[in-house]
Amino acid sequence: MQTTKTHIVHGGTLRYLTHDSAVTGTAMTLSVFVPPGAGPFPVLIWLSGLTCTEDNFTTKAGAYRAAAEHGLIIVAPDTSPRGEGVADDPAYDLGQGAGFYVDATETPWAEHFRMESYVTGELIGLIDAAFPTTKVRGISGHSMGGHGALTLALRHPHLFRSVSAFAPIASPTRCPWGEKAFTAYLGPDRTVWDAHDAARLIEAGVGEGCFDDILIDQGDADPFLVEQLQPELLQAAADAVGQTLTLRMQPGYDHSYFFMASFIADHVAFHARRLEAAR
């Protein structure tokens, strides 16, 4: 990985990095915050939402004071492969900036859009090799990235010891964003989609017993709440199988980073407690 920018923040070091990915076949970008001290530190991977790059969370979420206090590395990768020759779509909710954290199987997406393998394989390996980590990690995200955090944690519980999300797409098989993306990336067979739907994974018992709690924050003034996000489906699935899930409906909050900045310290502390206990 090559460092392109470095900043000192709350006594820690924030780096923007780039590397050539063997998984996506493209250059990938990310940011990594390392708290002050010698380490080693547990890691929180953050997955961002539609249209975002690694920069949105890095500059807007205000997570690094809490990360410095709790001794937590935070890694924020880009949301998709990008570049010349990479498939794209004019719409904001498909293509570059909209990877949905799945490995695409359909043309023209399959060549580069392999975000599940990137996050759960290559990215973790690079971070553990380059930074003072304990090799214990959690995962969180927002919207499309909340969907990614939940599904990757449930599908790969050996990699993650904690999981949370802000305003996640709870059941992409049952909302317009997910139906559009999954049709394009995974094809028309809806039974294939279920393996990438957090509510359906919980209903099926995937990841059962692996997480003592799943923390979800959702603003009740979010314009996408009813049609796209549907957190009640997550709650119903968790209740049906006895999975502890803390769904906090936050009055008056919307879908923006102002919402995330208001509660990000709670999520950092939530992960830090579990990751420290797992060392």
Q: What does the pLDDT read at residue 254?
A: 98
Closest CA to 216 of 228, 230, 231: 231
Q: What does the pLDDT read at residue 204?
A: 96
* Predicted confidence band of residue 277 (pLDDT cuts 50, 70, 90): confident
DSSP 139-185: EEEBTHHHHHHHHHHHH-TTT-SEEEEES--S-GGGSHHHHHHHHHH
Residue whose token pair is 């059962």: 208
Annotated active-site residue 222? The verdict is: yes
**Angle (CA) 158 159 165, round 5°:** 115
pTM above 0.95, yes or no: yes
DSSP-based three-state secondary structure for 270: helix
Q: Side chain identity at 152, as an amino acid letter?
A: L
| Cis preceding linkage at 108, omega within 30 | yes
Q: Side chain identity at 229, as an amino acid letter?
A: L
Token pair recorded at residue 36: 């002050």
**Angle (CA) 22 51 265, round 5°:** 90
Q: What is the mean pLDDT of the chain?
A: 97
Closest CA to 230 of 139, 146, 109, 163: 146
Annotated active-site residue 143? The verdict is: yes
Q: What is residue 38's DSSP assignment?
A: S
**Angle (CA) 71 77 82, round 5°:** 170
Catalytic residue, candidates 70, 147, 196, 255: 255
Tell me: pLDDT of 115 over 80: yes
Tell me: pLDDT of 279 over 80: no
Catalytic residue, candidates 31, 222, 267, 271: 222
* Percent of the residues in the chain that have a pLDDT greater than 90, as a whole number: 97
Tell me: pLDDT of 67 over 80: yes
Determine phi and psi for 4, rounding to 5 degrees.
-100, -25
Determine phi and psi for 217, rounding to 5 degrees.
-110, 135
Specify the pairing of strand 245-250 against strand 162-166.
unpaired
| Chain length of the chain | 279
For 135-167, the pLDDT digits (tens) are 999 999 999 999 999 999 999 999 999 999 999
Catalytic residue, candidates 143, 162, 164, 171: 143
Q: What does the pLDDT read at residue 58?
A: 98
d(CA 87, CA 85): 6
Average pLDDT over residues 226-245: 97
DSSP 102-119: SB--STTTTTT-BHHHII
Tell me: pLDDT of 278 over 90: no
Determine phi and psi for 29, rounding to 5 degrees.
-120, 155
d(CA 258, CA 175): 24
Assess contact for 265 and 67: CB atoms under 8 A. no
